[in-house]
Structure 1
């Protein structure tokens, strides 16, 4: 497939690029600073683009089979940036007739597991309160996806870890895995690539965890 990756210099973004190249996909990595992208390989094109300008983004998504976004706030002061940049990407995609897009959101943005215990509910509530601005930004991003003409999927992981790829994790379409507290960034990237061709995840939020 021909894939475009936004947020390609972030923790999840670099894993998306790495595993996509290993799987033989052609990857266009859209970055602000090419020097921060440490992944190399055949089939990789690195593009610098202004993500506040849909016209500047259109060449990077034109003719692609799917767009994958690892965009995320690095800190609370970046709250608001993810929804803003995602709207730019969606505008560019719709102008080019590209439909498939997958993004990284967060577990607390979606529903609690049906059988969540008091400790899990309390922990999610505390994290949501602490990072309210960040999660409000992600909710705004998901609202923009839902209002778009794209075939979107929002991946909602819990606490992220830097761990080697396992390929073994749980996913719940429209929900969240019971007692799911952690997942590695490499496995989030693996899940995103796996879901790219899965029609059962289209226009859905998907919770995932170990």
Structure 2
């Protein structure tokens, strides 16, 4: 890049002749034009140097703004997902009323899984003391989350000696669309296993149990 110089024009001597003054005036005018052209070239060269830097700075600022916007969006998505996962199992299709603390709400029913081992009669009494009953399978579609349950739990299904059928606590009979009951050699009570499958068991054997009631 060319070097830029400052040109200082010396004033004409006080007693110059008219001809000399005219020559000096023309010289000064020529030098002024040359000086102006040089300064213009310097300005253009500086602009060429500054332009790429300016473009780089604009791009950097734009990228920083884009990064901040994307970060904020992902933060909002994360908080939304976190809030939606606060309840282990809940209704995603309409209202699911309030349940007692630590109970699971699903499709307007409340469920509780108890880990202490009790006989079937003791489990039934425990549920009744909490204004609930042992688990009843109404339908696979309405209680689809139960297919993920592992281990064995007492449910409200017993074998009646009167007619030799399996009935729920409320007196309704077991239907094939509720669950599959695997009858063992002995046992008059049912244990829920998983995937809507239950096994018969001696009612006096201790097992964990599931209580259920309608959400208020």
Q: If the TM-score is normalised by the length of the shorter chain, which range does it land in? A: under 0.3
Please report the TM-score for the alignment, with normalisation by the length of structure 2.
0.24
Larger Rg: 2
